[in-house]
Structure 1
Amino acid sequence: MSNQRSFPVANSLTVGVIGLGVMGRPMAASLLRSPAASWNVVISDRGRERYSELLDSGASWAESPRRLAEQADIIVDMLPDLPQLEQVLNGPDGIVSGITTPTLLVISSTSSASGIRELADRLATETNGLLHVVDAPVSGGEDGAVAGTLSIMVGGSADDVDLALPVLRAIGTPAHLGPLGAGAIAKFCNQLIVAANILALGEAAVLAERSGLDLGALFDLLENGYAGSRVLDSRKRRIVDADYRPSGVARYMIKDLRYALEEADRTGTDAAQLRLLLDTFTDLTAHGFGDQDIAVTRAYVESKNPPPVAVA
């Protein structure tokens, strides 16, 4: 890391977390409770009173992104995408205005790989090389964030990633996969597989139920065969019970799959299934299912063609 300082040791390293939503909030909690923690945690978002449990667990509060940047050595971003990150980077109260010493920004949202690279170049120029970027999108959903067992796909220079890894290990299992943007591309691959899996489960659920099968018993059986997956394990009860309360919001797949398709086009990859999945999740959202959990693929498939009416 150019302009690299000797980072504080013991309990003086400060990790900032911004984007305290469904994923960011439990990630911050994991940082606070990590037995290997050698850092202080500072958080910033809208409405301090909403995060009393994190503050009671030892987090410090920053009144603005700038104040967070003034304190943090490493900043973990869990905002939805780069446009939301830009909102907290810029302006007199933004992160950039608070950068006075070498700082590492860890982007953990699913974002465009090319957009991340362009942003990193711009931030390096705006901060005279002080603000460095690592991309580290996560997989494992809210359950994984709460348990601290996320899979973390990391891209960046070796020096920058070495600084980030101890922090990332407190929230899951990180793997350095290549230069900046590699984490994003790995997440695209992940989302392609997850989207295909959850759509197949939705179709299988409707087919099985309309054919008179016990859906719960079927999914329990499938879990022990080649059809078993983490997606099936985490969503089988939701699909069986038609419980679509959002944990992994279905419409977010559109953004992720669109980025994946951009990368497929850039690399000349024939990704026919990816195009189909993007079209399907776009249609699913257009039909009003997008704000529900990805398990809603069952309801979406059911809505496409009602079952035939039995003739008395």
Structure 2
Amino acid sequence: MASPHIAFLGIGLMGAPMVHNLLAAGYPMTLWNRTAGKCTPFESRATIAATPAQAVAGADIVITMLENSDVVEAVLVEQGAMAALQRGAVLVDMSSVQPSLARRHGALAAEQGACYLDAPVSGGTRGAEAGTLSIMAGGETDILEKVRPVFETLGKVTHIGPVGAGQLAKLANQAIVGVTIGAVSEALLLAAKGGADPAAVREALMGGFAGSRILEQHGQRMIDRDFAPGAPARIQLKDLRMILDEARSEGLTLPLAQQAHNGYLSLVANGHADVDHSGLLLELEHVNGARLGGFSHDSKRQD
């Protein structure tokens, strides 16, 4: 049985390694990206389309991995990709968008005789490269099963519920990520300011109840001052805005998410929109006039 033809829209930090893994798995693909040059590394292995509508035409599965709700709406609706879906195609939005927009796009896809899944991901660029993304899928079970082999090329998929539920799970993920990055930043700066080696503190905490992927990966990034973007701060800010919008629509107050949002808002306003989201440490350093790093064992306090 021939592999389904996949159209992939959005060849960015996340999309490029995902496309690489899908091509390595043998899927025939058509690619589109607003900045066409980002498709160039794949031109010998995939078809490059000039427009989203051209990319989608004839595809069995359409995957979008775009920056935000406005871009997804523009590409799918304003630039004609939705109207170009063939009957029976499955549209999979792996971007992070508002749950209400996912439900709207699901309805529009149904009008075209196509199917829809919202399937945002967690795991960052490392997970995309390794094919270990956590995929949170909203939609009908039978549709999910049709594309499960594609998802399993990219990571591990969990069916969350109806259309829109995948995006709700991603908001929950990003709330935990944003708040926890803030907590790790504060904890390491507190320890370092008092004279402890932050690298040793991180090592000790990794074996205890405070251990987490954030402490493991982003704690190390903070110590190394490696803020090259895996997930840019501006994207984390966008997700936190969506979290607070969704909370308001449900009559909820989320004070920790609000505080994380405020920190990222200041970080971005201070010129750090494109640092990794672990770079929230930079805003904490700015507020305190203190810096994590530059620690050596010789500088330890002596008894």
**Residue number in structure 2 paired with 1:96:** 82
Shift of 1:220: 1.8
Q: Cα deviation per residue 1:245-297 (whole Å; 9 max; x = unaligned)? A: 21111121222112222332333444221222222222222222232111212
Q: What residue in structure 1 maps to residue 106 of structure 2?
A: 120
Deviating 4+ runs (over 6 angstroms): none
**1:10 aligned to 2, 5, 12, which one?**
2
| RMSD after superposition | 2.0
| 2:49 maps to 1:62 | yes
* Alignment length (residue pairs): 291
**Match for residue 31 of structure 2 among 43, 51, 63:** 43
Alignment of 1:260-299 (within 5 A): 260-299=243-282
Report the CA distance between 1:61 and its aligned residue: 2.0
* Counterpart-to-counterpart distance in 1, 2:102 and 2:37: 32
Residue 110 in 1 paired to residue 96 in 2?
yes
State how 1:153-232 maps to structure 2 within 5 Å: 153-232=136-215
| Structure 2 partner of 1:144 | 127
Q: Percent of aligned positions with the same letter in both sequences?
A: 34
Question: Counterparts of 1:45 and 1:81 in 2: how far apart (Å)?
Answer: 14
Report the TM-score when normalising by structure 2.
Answer: 0.89
Q: Separation in 1 of the partners of 2:163 and 2:255?
A: 27
Give the letter for the 1:138 counterpart. V
Matches of 1:96 and 1:187 in 2, distance apart?
23
Please name the residue that 1:78 is paired with.
65
Q: How far 1:150 moved relative to its partner?
A: 0.3
Query: Unpaired segments of 5 or more residues in structure 1?
Result: 1-8
Query: C-alpha offsets along residues 160-206 of structure 1, whole Å, 9 cap, x if unaligned?
Result: 22222221111000000100001000001100110111111111222
The answer to whether the 8 Å contact 1:134/1:154 transfers is yes
Q: Which moved more, 1:99-108 or 1:269-278?
A: 269-278
Corresponding position: 1:248 with 2:236: no
C-alpha distance in 2 between matches for 1:101 and 1:60: 21
TM-score by length of 1: 0.87
Q: Structure 1's 73 and 277: CA in aligned 2 closer, same or farther, altered over 3 A?
A: same
Structure 2 unaligned segments of length 5 or more: list them: 292-303
Q: Aligned AA for 1:71? A: G
Deviations 1:121-148 (A, max 9, x none): 23433x2xx2322100000000000000
How far did 1:84 drift? Answer: 0.9
Equivalent-residue separation in structure 2 for 1:21 and 1:217 (angstroms): 35
SS class of match (1:119) = helix
Shift of 1:48: 5.0
Q: Which moves more between the two structures, 140-149 or 259-268?
A: 259-268
Aligned position for 2:18? 27
Equivalent residue letter for 1:99: L
Report the Cα distance in structure 2 between the residues aligned to 1:274 and 1:116, rounded to whole angstroms.
22
Letter in 1 for 2:76: L
